[in-house]
Amino acid sequence: MNATIADLKNRFEDALVTAFGDEVAGIDPLLVPTSNPKFGDYQSNVAMALAKKLGKAPRAIADELVQTLDLSDLCEPLEIAGPGFINITLKTEYLQAQLAVMQRSDRLGVETAESPQRVIVDFSSPNIAKEMHVGHLRSTIIGDAIARVLEFQGQDVLRLNHVGDWGTQFGMLITYLQEVCPAALTTADALDLGDLVTFYKKAKQRFDDDPAFQEAARQQVVTLQSGDQKSDRAWKLLCNQSRREFQTIYDLLDICLTERGESFYNPYLQGVVDDLEQAGLLVEDQGAKCVFLDGFTNREGERLPLIIQKSDGGYNYATTDLAAIRYRIHTDGANRLIYVTDVGQANHFAQVFQVARRAGWILDGVEVVHVPFGLVQGEDGKRLKTRSGETVRLRDLLDEAIARARADLETRLKEEDRHESQAFIEHTSHIVGISAVKYADLSQNRTSNYIFSFDKMLALQGNTAPYMLYAYVRIQGISRKGQIDFGNLGADIKILLHEETEFALARHLLQLDELIGQVSQELMPNRLCQYLFELSQKFNQFYDRCPVLQAEEPTRTSRLVLCDLTARTLKLGLSLLGIQVLERM
Ligand code: ARG
């Protein structure tokens, strides 16, 4: 919580008890930042909440409370509005002092978590030998941003890539591999299988066309699962090939992940069955072992089963997730489990969480959350595909973003008659292209579908990465022009707020700490984007109105500090979104 709110909260709580007695001890004073500066900085709605309990009119309660509260060191005299809202306006000296604290802090005044949690973020998680598609891209970008925010808070974060590296498709793939490249199962050399997606398609074709192949593939699953060495070799070969392909995407996007695929949980699957059996949850239904779910029914109103073990002894996607949840809480010691997938898996997670909860695996104080996101659509509002109607390859998508950023840059350089090195052009277009893709995704409310548009995401105007990067560059330009070292403005600077645009910028800057707290609670990166976007707008308004380099001292230095704080906040905020800033662009 923001230090100011925390302080206000304490003082409100004390005053409540002084005014109304122990009856109201521990009552939340309901302090919120106001939506409109004309109501001050914060507002307390506690008078309304207490009306019933105290049997008094909210306005009278507010009156009494305000008389008891002494906040004169922090705020202007409190005001009561409407039915009994208490409006709090921070004093200018207080704002100035807070800004000075922020200026001196490496973390821009953002507090670190008091007692760090062990958090697992399960994200990206593509499937071996299959295409890593735009859904996985969303999961990767959103999951990474969430992990970065939590890491910045000082939480102990484990980023897990729950890759689909197990399951019946491997029977088919290995059987096909045996046909086309028998050496793969015996030689010790690394093999390059070429494009795995094409390989997968061909294998699938064989599978669909030939019943004998199908039978062989089924047999192969059993052989693999029984631990046969040759099959295991082939399986590893396929996984390694996929891994290399995924890694090129992660490198491009600057993503760090620990792979712990589905196969990791194989040794724990039987334990899941045993535990559920012991808990009395397991029911045998047509040879399959199931748990009947609360709140999930078919059209006839009968409870639906979650199949834990199929009649042939095989396990499911859900069984693996049950083993994973159990392992993550009981072995990894996680307090918070976050799963970032498309909204289509909402039921899957609700079911898995329910069974885990009923089995008693979710210990007290452990939070499990599914972080769903909507579909990625093309500009026609349909599923994103290439012009020829095929699924878009991620590599191509990212390359195109970079190529377009480069074309835009080159046009601009020509117009401005600027000459830049090849290295500058490459670096800048890489950063702009990748940032544009990330920012476009993150700035949407993740729960809605999102329309992928190169033109929109690369625009210099609007809530886009180029706009944000440009705001940062603009401030660096001020420091270059005035030959000012922002890092060295002096130790004892006084920040002075006079103009309205200075106040608006200052107040916004001071919300950073609170905002980071909210993002880490709600897991909504778009709120951080919105904050940064408003910050750039407020900065631009300030910069249009208030001369900086031209101003007289001490105003000049004070304004330079506002510039510096804005730049550092942008840089930090963007870095939490996985976006690197540029000094020039
Ligand atoms: N591999 C899955 C997919 O591509 C996503 C896995 C998400 N994580 C999990 N623990 N189930 O849809």
Question: Do 287 and 370 fall into the same domain?
Answer: yes
Query: Does residue 286 fall inside a structural domain?
Result: yes
Evaluate: CB of 124 within 6 angstroms of ligand 1: no
Query: Does residue 173 fall inside a structural domain?
Result: yes
b vs e for 190-215, b when ≥16 Cβ sit within 10 Å of the residue's Cβ? Answer: eeebeebbebbeebeebbeeeeebbe
Average pLDDT over residues 407-433: 97
Average pLDDT over residues 315-330: 97
Rounded to the nearest 5 percent, the helix, strand and coil shares of the chain are: 55, 10, 30
pLDDT at residue 312, as a whole number: 85
Question: Do 198 and 347 fall into the same domain?
Answer: no
Domain limit, last residue, from 232, 253, 274: 253
Query: For residue 301, what is the domain's CATH number?
Result: 3.40.50.620
Q: Which atom of ligand 1 lies at the shortest distance from residue 348's CA?
A: 11
Evaluate: CB of 508 within 6 angstroms of ligand 1: no
User: Which amino acid residue places its CA nearest to atom 9 of ligand 1?
Assistant: 162
Question: Do 273 and 332 fall into the same domain?
Answer: yes
- Closest of 271, 258, 278 to residue 332, by C-alpha: 258
User: Which amino acid residue places its CA nearest to atom 8 of ligand 1?
Assistant: 162
Evaluate: CB of 148 within 6 angstroms of ligand 1: no
Question: Do 142 and 276 fall into the same domain?
Answer: yes
Parent domain of 140: 118-159+263-377
Summarised one tens digit per residue, pLDDT across range 354-386 is 999 999 999 999 999 999 999 999 988 888 888
Question: Do 371 and 282 fall into the same domain?
Answer: yes
Q: Which atom of ligand 1 lies at the shortest distance from residue 324's CA?
A: 10
pLDDT at residue 490, as a whole number: 74
Question: Do 51 and 148 fall into the same domain?
Answer: no
Evaluate: CB of 245 within 6 angstroms of ligand 1: no
Summarised one tens digit per residue, pLDDT across range 45-103 is 999 999 999 999 999 999 999 999 999 999 999 999 999 999 999 999 999 999 999 99
Evaluate: CB of 339 within 6 angstroms of ligand 1: yes
* pTM, full prediction: 0.93
Question: Do 54 and 174 fall into the same domain?
Answer: no
Question: Do 269 and 345 fall into the same domain?
Answer: yes
Summarised one tens digit per residue, pLDDT across range 170-193 is 999 999 999 988 877 776 565 666
Q: Which of 165, 257, 315, 341 to mutate to test the pocket of ligand 1 (most atoms within 8 A of CB)?
A: 341
Question: Do 298 and 352 fall into the same domain?
Answer: yes
Domain count, the chain: 3
Query: Does residue 539 fall inside a structural domain?
Result: no
Question: Do 22 and 56 fall into the same domain?
Answer: yes
pLDDT at residue 98, as a whole number: 94
User: Which amino acid residue places its CA nearest to atom 12 of ligand 1?
Assistant: 126
Query: Does residue 82 fall inside a structural domain?
Result: yes
Query: For residue 7, what is the domain's CATH number?
Result: 3.30.1360.70
What are 230's two structure tokens? 């040759």
Question: Do 278 and 225 fall into the same domain?
Answer: no
Q: Which atom of ligand 1 lies at the shortest distance from residue 163's CA?
A: 1
Average pLDDT over residues 255-281: 97
Question: What distance in angstroms lies between residue 470's CA and the mean position of ligand 1's atoms?
Answer: 36
Evaluate: CB of 122 within 6 angstroms of ligand 1: yes
pLDDT at 1 over 70: no
Helices (H), 226-345: 229-253, 269-278, 317-330
Evaluate: CB of 164 within 6 angstroms of ligand 1: yes
Q: What is the DSSP string of 155-209?
A: -EEEEEE--B--STHHHHHHHHHHHH-GGGGT--S------HHHHHHHHHHHHHH
Query: Does residue 421 fall inside a structural domain?
Result: no
